[in-house]
Homo-oligomer: A and B are copies of this chain.
Amino acid sequence: MRIPILKLYDCLLVSIQWELDDQTALQFQEDLLHKIHETNANGVVIDITSIDFIDSFIAKVLGDVINMSKLMGAKVVITGIQPAVAITLIELGINLDDVHTALDLEKGLEKLQQELGD
């Protein structure tokens, strides 16, 4: 299984709607970085509204993919972080200090446009 990555204008949209297994998460990491390179995307919105639990491996992959995307020059907004996911991320010490977050996909896209407009 691979997660579809949608290109909309200069942004990429990803909605993760089911729990990821380790292989899918790593495949997603690779796919997203390739897509950023291929499309010259300036921003990425990753919506995880439907995820109500993540394990340490997935949390690490998520943290990594955010940092890797930034290295490649794309701003990342994570949307729809649920309580249990927020708890896991903080408890595991995943560094999301300077990651933008928003409530849902619409607000995430708006935030990204603001950021890119700066």
Q: Which residues of A line the B interface, CB within 8 A?
A: 1-9, 13, 15-18, 47, 105-106, 109
Q: Which residue of B lies closest to A31 (CB)?
A: B17
Residues of B within 8 A of A5 (CB): 15, 17
Q: Which residue of B lies closest to A6 (CB)?
A: B15
Residues of B within 8 A of A47 (CB): 6
A3–B5 Cα distance when bound, in Å, is 11
Is B15 within 8 A of A2, CB to CB?
no
Q: Besides the contacts A2-B18, A4-B4, A8-B106, what 5 more A-B pairs have beta carbons closer than 8 Å? A: A2-B17, A4-B15, A5-B15, A6-B6, A13-B13
Q: Which of B2, B9, B13, B18 contacts A6 (CB 8 A)?
A: B13
A2–B18 Cα distance when bound, in Å, is 8
